[in-house]
Amino acid sequence: MATDADAAVYAQLEKQLTSHDVPLAQRFRALFTLKSLGGLAAIQAIGKGFDGQSALLAHELAYCLGQLKDVRALPILIRVLEDPEEHPMAAEAMGAIGSDEALPSLRKFLTHDNPAIRETCEIALDKIVFDNSDEGKKQADNQYPCIDPAPAATHSPLVASAHSAALAPASASLSVPELEAQLLDTKLSLFERYRAMFALRNLGDREAVLALAKGFEDESALFRHEIAFVFGQLSSEHSVPALIDVLRRPHEEDMVRHEAAEALGGIATDECLPILKEFAERDDVPRVVRESCVVALDMYEYERSNEFVPLPTLPSAAAASA
């Protein structure tokens, strides 16, 4: 049972998360601390962070709610998805939770004018259907400590395109060229292409990274955004040139440049620092890109210093799972 001291910890984190006077990097630390603690109190605190002010923060708030995989976050995410001033990442978060309670809300947006919202809802729907299928229930645990928008591919999908492979046994191991072909095949659903993306991430060698980088030329901004996110997970120096190129693109979508900046902050090689400093200080770039570079610089310093920032300890051990 949660105590008054437990409630004080959550209240302190909520105040730090929601205060506009607190530097953005510190608000992010509060957010990810709440994600680590979990439970209803954390969900409620994170939900109060949506205020329409920072697209970057809204993106991360929704992501963290999804990663908690708690159906009690669905009402918040549904509200965010239906609010035109908020962020389409809410749909991906609903897919991560994996409950069929989200299906009616997601289906409403399959014809939305905004491609990012439409595509995110499409992938989330496919993810929920997959999770509740026989194949999904047998899916191996993710080798990364996160819930992906799609499971890594273990075989080629059966498709009616001339260059796609026939359906292979589920035990077949796909090569990088085969996964690259699936990744770039626009005749496939985004869900199937994401499956190839995460399989390449799981391989993670130079050849796989270079194959993933070709996804930055895709017409879908959501797809390009996910490539950058995957590079952040991989933290491979081989992805740095492609990420710098994406951050420098003046006409690239904000959400793609935002993910590229954060990926560079996490990779934290010497060549990442100048570009992040440059774009954190430029007035001619969108706010979300500038803010992403500020957060990425904080990430860079953390990675380079090996700093350990302990999480708050709840006096009641039961509170984290309340």
Q: What pLDDT is attached to residue 174?
A: 87
Q: Do 89 and 114 contact (CB within 8 A), yes or no? A: no
Residue 175 has pLDDT above 50, yes or no: yes
Domain 1-132 superfamily per CATH: Leucine-rich Repeat Variant (1.25.10.10)
Interatomic CA distance for residues 183 and 194, integer angstroms = 7
CA atoms within 13 A on the CB side of 23: 7
Residue 168 has pLDDT above 70, yes or no: no
What pTM, to 2 d.p., does this model score? 0.85
Residue 14 has pLDDT above 60, yes or no: yes
Higher pLDDT, 254 or 313: 254
Note the CATH number of domain 176-311.
Answer: 1.25.10.10
User: pLDDT tens digit string along 204-240?
Assistant: 999 999 999 999 999 999 999 999 999 999 999 999 9
Instruction: Name the average pLDDT for the chain.
Output: 87
Interatomic CA distance for residues 291 and 244, integer angstroms = 16
Interatomic CA distance for residues 210 and 183, integer angstroms = 12
In the chain, where the domains are located: 1-132, 176-311
Q: What pLDDT is attached to residue 166?
A: 37
Overall average pLDDT of the 23-37 stretch:
92
Interatomic CA distance for residues 69 and 47, integer angstroms = 14
Interatomic CA distance for residues 11 and 9, integer angstroms = 5
Q: Do domains 1-132 and 176-311 have the same CATH topology?
A: yes
Residue 252 has pLDDT above 90, yes or no: yes
Higher pLDDT, 132 or 206: 206
User: pLDDT tens digit string along 75-125?
Assistant: 999 999 988 776 678 999 999 999 999 999 999 999 988 898 999 999 999
Q: Which of 36-45, 170-179, 253-262 has the lowest mean pLDDT?
A: 170-179
User: pLDDT tens digit string along 266-319?
Assistant: 999 999 999 999 999 999 999 999 999 999 999 999 888 865 454 455 555 444
Q: Which residue is listed with tokens 């990425």?
A: 296
CA distances from 51 to 95, 204, 209 (A): 22, 37, 36
Interatomic CA distance for residues 198 and 183, integer angstroms = 10
Q: What pLDDT is attached to residue 317?
A: 44
Q: Give every CB contact of residue 104 below 8 A, 6+ residues apart in sequence.
A: none
Residue 170 has pLDDT above 60, yes or no: no
Q: What is the dihedral of CA 241, 242, 248, 253, to 10 degrees?
A: -160
Q: What pLDDT is attached to residue 302?
A: 86
Overall average pLDDT of the 126-149 stretch:
87
Residue 172 has pLDDT above 80, yes or no: no
Residue 313 CB: number of other CB atoms within 10 A? 9
Residue 162 has pLDDT above 70, yes or no: no
Interatomic CA distance for residues 118 and 164, integer angstroms = 25
Q: What pLDDT is attached to residue 94?
A: 96
Interatomic CA distance for residues 165 and 98, integer angstroms = 29
Tokens of 54: 């920072």
User: pLDDT tens digit string along 47-73?
Assistant: 999 987 788 899 899 999 999 999 999
